[in-house]
Structure formats: structure tokens, C-alpha cells
Amino acid sequence: MNITLQDIGRRYNREWIFRHIDYTFSVQNRYAILGPNGSGKSTLIKVLMGSLTPSEGKLTYQVGGNTLAVEDIYQHISMAAPYVELIEEFTLNELIAFHFQFKSYLPGMDETAIKEWLGFEKHILDKEIRYFSSGMKQRVKLVLACCSSSSLLFLDEPTSNLDKAGEQWYLQLLEACSKDRLVIIGSNQEHEYAICNEYLEIMDYK
């Protein structure tokens, strides 16, 4: 999967969030979209995911040399972000089962492996998500995104609400689950994108 941006811009009302982005995100690379809070990182990620339409420019998705329509891109995406909500009325067991009705497991992963990655005590599995701490919810979001089979993995502020141990856990999870995927991370914290080998500075496109 490659994503090509040609003169991409996005604005709200009269204010441009970013403009004139010419860039290609290529498969098997790990990208960090960098910039301070409020600079437009999340907006760019939403444009790349097809959930926001660019105000100008052209966005192209290619899989194996074939162009993919923007309305079909969701089939190739996994995503974790603070603004993506979990279904809080579900227990963890119910949420995992529900999620994987729509997504396939990443090769080498299954329900047992996911629960092992989470590392929660057994009684937590039948607890409703609304009773989880913010750090527990973030772990669930990250595991569901990283352990789903998808060619595109988007992570926005991935260590939000995680403590130091959680940050190390996240890096181990990402290392285990990022092979042969296009990974794009929105961040302003160096530890979150230590795994990345390419960087896009959003402030260069103001």
C-alpha cells in the first residue's frame, strides 16, 4: 500500500491547517507525523484515512500497482487514537469478539495471544469497558489496532494515558506487529515514534 499526496491542503472556514503537501507514504516504512499540539497532525491523519476530504489537492492509494477508491480504504486500515471511542457497555470479551467480526487477526495472532498481550487478570475479561481506567482503555485500543490484519496502521498519540511501563509495553507491541505494514504515527513525543524511519514535519506546510 502506498499513499501519494499531491498539493494536499485542508482548511477550516478560512484558516488553512496545512497546504501544499507533496509526499508519498510507502509500504513497509514507518512514518512519524510531527508537530506541536494543535498543529494539524490529527487532521492530516484523518485525511490520509479518508475520513476527511482535502480542501485542495489529490490523494491516491495504490495496492500492488492498482489504484484503490477512497471509499474502500477503510477495509485496509487499523486505527488507535484518543478520540476513537470503545463500546463501553461491552465486556472486554464481548468487545474482542465484536471487533474481530469485522477484522481478521494479524498472522500469528488470535484471541488468546491478544489477551496475553493485554496482560490483564482473568476476572477483567468479563468486566465492562466503562469500568476500565484510561490506561487500560488505551491498551485495549492499541492491541485491537495492532493485532488486526491491515496493510495500514495509524496511531495518533499512542501512549496517551500510559505510564512508563505502558510506554515500554507499547514499543514491544509495535515492534511485534509492524512488519510488512505501512505504519503512520502522529506524535510530538520522541519515545512514541522511536521505531519510525521517516518523518514529516507538519509545520513545514503552514
pLDDT of residue 22: 97
- Integer Cα distance of 129 and 134 in angstroms: 10
Q: Is the pLDDT of residue 65 over 90?
A: no
pLDDT value at 28 more than 90: no
- For the record, the C-alpha cell of 34 comes out as 510531527
Model confidence over 66-115: pLDDT tens digits? 999 988 999 999 999 999 999 999 999 999 999 999 999 999 999 999 99
Say yes or no to pLDDT of 64 above 90: no
| pLDDT value of residue 63 | 86
Residue 147 to residues 28, 109, 186, Cα–Cα distance (Å): 16, 7, 19
Residue 1: the pLDDT is 86
Fold designation for 30-42+73-199 = Rossmann fold (3.40.50)
Give the per-residue pLDDT at 115: 96
Q: pLDDT of 139-189, one tens digit each? A: 999 999 999 999 999 999 999 999 999 999 999 999 999 999 999 999 999
Question: Which pLDDT belongs to residue 202?
Answer: 97
CA 32 from chain centre, in angstroms, equals 11
Task: Identify the bridge partners of residue 11 per DSSP, sorted by sequence position.
Answer: 16
pTM of the model: 0.94
Q: Is the dihedral of CA 87, 88, 89, 93 positive or negative?
A: positive
Q: How far apart are the C-alpha atoms of 150 and 100, rounded to whole Å?
A: 12
Q: What is the pLDDT of residues 116-138, one digit of tens each?
A: 999 999 999 999 999 999 999 99
Distance CA 50, CA 67 (A): 14
What ranges do the domains of the chain cover? 30-42+73-199
- Give CA separation, 150 vs 15, 132, 159, in Å: 34, 27, 21
